[in-house]
C-alpha cells in the first residue's frame, strides 16, 4: 500500500498550491480592529453573559479551545471542536463545513447558535446601545451612535483579520533566513513524500480544501455538521474543511470531534486512515518536530496596546 501511494503521489500533487510564508504584515483597519477586540472578549455578547468569543478561541491556546467540545451558555457543550481563529483570514471558507465564505458572515454563527452564545440581534444591539462605552466607540469609527449588527460583525471580523501569526521558524526557512534541524528537516521531507502536503498546502498549510478522514481506511467517529449538511451530496458525508496546521503544536485536542489529544496520536491516525499504513516511531517524531516549526508569533494586536 505504501509503495502504491508513493507512486501515485506526483499525480496528487499536480496543481496543488505550494507552501508559502505568512506575510509579515497584513493590512487592516487598526481602530476598527481594536473595537472588534473589545467585542471579542466581552461576555455581554452571550445571552447569559457567561461566555465571550475568546472563551472558545483562547489566545493562550493558539486561538483554539483546550476542550474537545467548547462550553457555551448554560454549560451546554457544542457539537464540534472549536478550531483556531488565528490566520482564519487565509481560509477559503469558514466553519468546519465551509458554509460561509467570509469572516464577517462567520461572526453571526456563534452569536446565534443556541448552544454557543444564544443571542438575538435585537438583544445584542439593545445591550450595546445601553452600555456606557459602545455608542461613543462606534460613533468614533462609523460616525453614528446608532449601532447596527453590520457594524458589530464588521468590527469583530476586522479583529479576526488581524489575528495572523507570522515569522514561524518554517516561514523563516522558506524565506531562506534560517535552517531546520536534521530532525525537523526529515519531518519536512516526510511531510512532502508521504503526501500530507496534498491536503495541507498553501499559505495556511490547510484551510483551502475539503477532505474526509478515512479516505483509505474508514474512520469510525461522529461527523455532525459535515459538508453534506451544506451540499446534500451523499459523497460529502464525513467531509470537512482541511484544518490549518499553523500553530498546531498549541491547539490540542485535534480533529473536528476533538477526540485526539496529542500530535503524535493525530499523525498516527491520519497516516493509517488517509494513507493506509503505519509510520515508524522515528517518522512520527520527525513529523512532530516539523510541525513544531509552524508555531508563529502571537498576533501583534494581542501584544500591543491601543
User: How far apart are alpha carbons 91 and 205 in whole angstroms?
Assistant: 10
Tell me what percent of the chain is helix, strand and coil, each rounded to the nearest 5. 45, 5, 50
Among residues 91, 108, 106, the alpha carbon closest in space to that of 210 is found at 91
| Secondary element (H or E) of residue 48 | none
Question: For residues 187 and 270, what is the distance between their CA atoms, to the nearest angstrom?
Answer: 15
Catalytic residue among 116, 158, 160, 184: 116
Q: What contacts 189, CB < 8 A, 6 or more positions away?
A: none
- DSSP annotation string for 236-299: GTTEEEPPP-TTGGGS-SBSTT--B-SHHHHHHHHIIIIISSPPPHHHHHHHHHHHHTT--PPP
- Catalytic residue at 116? yes
Coil, strand or helix at 58: strand
Query: How far is it, in rounded angstroms, from Cα 59 to Cα 90?
Result: 18
Strands (E), 88-224: 210-212
Q: Which residues of 114-134 are buried (b: 16+ CB within 10 A; e: fewer)?
A: ebbbbbeeeebbebbeeeeeb
d(CA 41, CA 94): 20
* Count of Cβ atoms closer than 10 Å to residue 218 Cβ: 11
By annotation, the residues acting in catalysis are: 116
Amino acid at each position: 500500500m505504501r509503495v502504491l501511494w508513493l507512486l501515485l503521489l506526483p499525480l496528487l500533487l499536480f496543481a496543488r498550491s505550494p507552501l508559502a510564508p505568512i506575510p509579515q504584515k497584513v493590512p487592516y483597519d487598526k481602530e476598527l480592529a481594536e473595537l472588534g477586540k473589545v467585542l471579542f472578549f466581552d461576555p455581554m455578547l452571550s445571552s447569559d453573559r457567561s461566555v465571550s468569543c475568546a472563551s472558545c478561541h483562547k489566545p493562550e491556546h493558539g486561538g483554539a479551545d483546550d476542550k474537545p467540545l467548547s462550553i457555551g451558555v448554560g454549560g451546554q457543550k457544542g457539537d464540534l471542536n472549536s478550531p483556531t481563529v488565528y490566520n482564519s483570514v487565509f481560509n477559503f471558507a469558514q466553519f468546519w463545513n465551509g458554509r460561509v465564505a467570509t469572516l464577517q458572515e462567520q461572526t453571526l454563527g456563534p452569536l446565534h447558535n443556541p448552544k454557543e452564545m444564544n443571542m438575538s440581534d435585537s438583544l445584542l444591539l439593545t445591550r450595546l446601545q445601553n452600555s456606557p462605552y459602545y455608542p461613543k466607540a462606534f460613533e468614533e469609527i462609523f460616525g453614528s451612535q446608532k449601532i447596527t449588527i453590520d457594524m458589530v460583525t464588521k468590527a469583530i471580523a476586522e479583529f479576526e483579520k488581524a489575528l495572523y501569526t507570522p515569522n514561524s521558524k518554517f516561514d523563516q526557512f522558506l524565506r531562506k533566513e534560517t535552517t531546520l534541524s536534521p530532525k525537523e528537516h526529515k519531518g519536512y521531507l516526510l511531510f512532502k513524500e508521504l503526501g500530507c502536503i496534498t491536503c495541507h498546502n498553501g499559505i495556511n498549510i490547510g484551510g483551502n480544501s475539503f477532505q474526509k478522514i478515512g479516505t483509505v481506511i474508514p474512520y469510525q467517529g461522529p461527523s455532525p455538521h459535515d459538508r453534506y449538511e451544506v451540499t446534500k451530496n451523499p459523497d460529502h458525508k464525513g467531509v470537512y474543511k482541511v484544518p490549518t496546521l499553523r500553530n498546531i503544536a498549541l491547539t490540542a485536542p485535534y480533529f473536528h470531534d476533538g477526540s485526539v489529544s496529542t500530535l503524535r496520536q493525530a499523525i498516527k491516525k491520519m497516516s493509517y486512515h488517509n494513507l493506509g499504513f503505519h509510520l515508524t516511531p522515528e517518522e512520527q517524531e520527525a513529523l512532530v518536530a516539523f510541525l513544531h516549526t509552524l508555531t508563529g508569533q502571537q498576533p501583534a494586536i494581542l501584544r500591543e496596546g491601543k
